[in-house]
Amino acid sequence: MKRLAILASGSGSNAEKIMDHFKNSSKASIALVASNKLDAYVLERAKKFNVPTFTFTRKEMEAGVLLEKLKEENIDWVILAGFLLKIPVELIRAFPDKMVNIHPALLPKYGGKGMYGAHVHEAVKAAGEKETGITIHLVNENYDEGKIIFQAHTALDELDTPDSIAAKVHELEHKYFPTVIEELLD
Ligand code: GRF
């Protein structure tokens, strides 16, 4: 049984899909939901699934508090689901090829600094892209440049807005992220 931790900073709709997917699994359990935001809605979602939660400040994370907690909880895999802080290199190195992120666009396009949340969808719209999608990738020291595990595409037209693009992307994320994680665990 693999022990997974989810790191999230916000609403956590992806985290919820993952918790739901693994709730009766014999392969993996969600052992922890950790957030840098005390009032992140993801913490409420975790309670609903009886998943323990942990909160920390950026400073604490940088001082190694989160890494310590993940070790204490014997975490095998770290899942980033809308986690907005830059992860300390020691933490990344502690989970080689065992840290996975979801990015709401088709990397290598629309990745890197400043490309998170609504900024991504606004940039996709501004560029007049005919499609966007999701990228699930391993995390290495250069954040959005880890090995790509999976991508899914969705078509766009000129009527799409950043909000409608976000909705299309979320739909893909919810559909694929839990199963892609499950396959990774093998
Ligand atoms: C997702 O779009 C994910 O790709 C990005 O942050 C968003 C999190 O959404 N990294 P939610 O909190 O899971 O609803």
Instruction: For residue range 160-174, list pLDDT tens digits in order.
Output: 999 999 999 999 999
Assigned token pair, 38 = 């005390």
For a substitution probing ligand 1, which of 30, 173, 176, 181 has the most ligand atoms within 8 Å of its CB?
A: 173
Residue nearest ligand 1's atom 3 by CA: 82
pTM equals: 0.96
- Does residue 143 register a pLDDT over 90? no
Examine the domain organization and report whether 77 and 128 are in the same domain.
Answer: no
Examine the domain organization and report whether 132 and 112 are in the same domain.
Answer: yes
- Residue % of the chain over a pLDDT of 70: 99
Examine the domain organization and report whether 68 and 107 are in the same domain.
Answer: no
Residues with CB under 6 A from ligand 1: 8, 10-15, 81-82, 102-104, 169-170, 173
Examine the domain organization and report whether 148 and 184 are in the same domain.
Answer: yes
Pick the range with the lowest mean pLDDT from 36-40, 99-103, 137-141, 150-154. Answer: 137-141
Examine the domain organization and report whether 11 and 30 are in the same domain.
Answer: yes
Q: Domain range spanning residue 108?
A: 102-186
For a substitution probing ligand 1, which of 14, 16, 45 has the most ligand atoms within 8 Å of its CB?
A: 14
Examine the domain organization and report whether 115 and 48 are in the same domain.
Answer: no
Domain boundary among 51, 77, 96: 96
Residue nearest ligand 1's atom 8 by CA: 82
Q: What is the pLDDT of residue 157?
A: 95
Examine the domain organization and report whether 34 and 84 are in the same domain.
Answer: yes
Tell me the pLDDT band of 149, cut-offs 50, 70 and 90.
very high
- Does residue 144 register a pLDDT over 80? no
- Does residue 112 register a pLDDT over 80? yes
Q: What is the pLDDT of residue 186?
A: 83
Examine the domain organization and report whether 78 and 111 are in the same domain.
Answer: no
- Does residue 13 register a pLDDT over 90? yes
Examine the domain organization and report whether 3 and 86 are in the same domain.
Answer: yes
Examine the domain organization and report whether 47 and 63 are in the same domain.
Answer: yes
Examine the domain organization and report whether 183 and 121 are in the same domain.
Answer: yes
Examine the domain organization and report whether 44 and 126 are in the same domain.
Answer: no
pLDDT in tens, 48-87: 999 999 999 999 999 999 999 999 999 999 999 999 999 9
Q: What is the mean pLDDT of residues 134-139?
A: 96
Active site residue: 21, 103, 137, 153, which one?
A: 103
Q: What is the pLDDT of residue 3?
A: 98
**Number of domains forming the structure of the chain:** 2
Residue nearest ligand 1's atom 7 by CA: 82
